[in-house]
Structure 1
Amino acid sequence: MKRLVLFSSLIMVAGLVAVFSAIIYKVNARSDSASAVSGAQMAATISVGPDARVLSTQVDGARLFMLVEEGTARALLQFDATTGKLLGRTDFVPR
């Protein structure tokens, strides 16, 4: 009976070590991938329309999202952060 309790306890400790090791690994891996594009790798210039006003920007990995206002219309522009090339455009229209 004592051997069974000892064996069961060792299995539980090994399981806890495995779980905490996985958690620590995931936390460290996530912080490394969050900085996928550094400031040195960003494009120096990004072209928007001549009358466009930038309302907000967001970087996600190697993509740059920019909310712009052109006159009375708003659009979401998606750029490749390293080259500055326009990947997509979403225009917002009122209903």
Structure 2
Amino acid sequence: MTNPNFDDDDKPLDAAQLRLQSKLKKLLLGSTLVMVVGFVAVFAAIFYRVTRTDGKPAPTFEHPVVAELPLPDGARVTATRLDGDRLTLTLEGPKGATVLILDLATMKAIRRLDLTAGK
């Protein structure tokens, strides 16, 4: 580098190379636009899902619901799930697992599924 050679100037491009360079620039511009449109679509979908509200409002009660649900001896609640106006309880007991689906308005069992070991 102490004696740089300034004779290595770039030669001008011929017509075929200029056409190829133009095509590559257009291809780069097109792929960049596709990438930007893709990112905008992804962020728009995320924004839509975060900001949308469900059509039905959550159930409301005029007064607090006070209810008592007797459990079988030795049973314990292992899971609960709330879905609209229904409550699902999963109970573990000495005879096996039980799934109860309760109506929140009446606090009565709508469905009961007893899970026992097969024979």
The normalised TM-score by structure 2 is 0.49
Q: Does 1:78 align with 2:94?
A: no
Asked if the contact 1:55/1:66 (under 8 Å) is kept, the reply is yes
Equivalent residue in structure 1 for 2:90, among 67, 70, 74:
67
Asked if the contact 1:52/1:68 (under 8 Å) is kept, the reply is no
Larger radius of gyration: 2
Equivalent residue in structure 1 for 2:43, among 10, 16, 20:
20
Alignment RMSD: 3.6
Judging by fraction of residues, say which structure has more helix.
1
Asked if the contact 1:67/1:75 (under 8 Å) is kept, the reply is yes
Q: Does 1:94 align with 2:105?
A: no
Give the deviation of 1:4 after TM superposition.
Answer: 5.5
Q: Which runs of 5+ in 1 are unaligned?
A: none
Asked if the contact 1:43/1:83 (under 8 Å) is kept, the reply is no
Q: Deviations over 1:28-49 (max 9, x none)?
A: 168x66xx757x6584325445
Give the deviation of 1:52 after TM superposition.
Answer: 7.3
CA distance in 2, matches of 1:57, 1:37: 21
Aligned length: 89
Give the deviation of 1:76 after TM superposition.
Answer: 1.4
Asked if the contact 2:78/2:92 (under 8 Å) is kept, the reply is no
Give the deviation of 1:88 after TM superposition.
Answer: 0.6
Q: Which amino acid aligns with 1:13?
A: V
CA distance in 1, matches of 2:92, 2:34: 60
The normalised TM-score by structure 1 is 0.57
Equivalent residue in structure 2 for 1:56, among 55, 65, 78:
78
CA distance in 2, matches of 1:94, 1:82: 33
Q: Which protein, 1 or 2, shows the higher relative CO under an 8 Å CA cutoff with sep ≥ 6?
A: 1
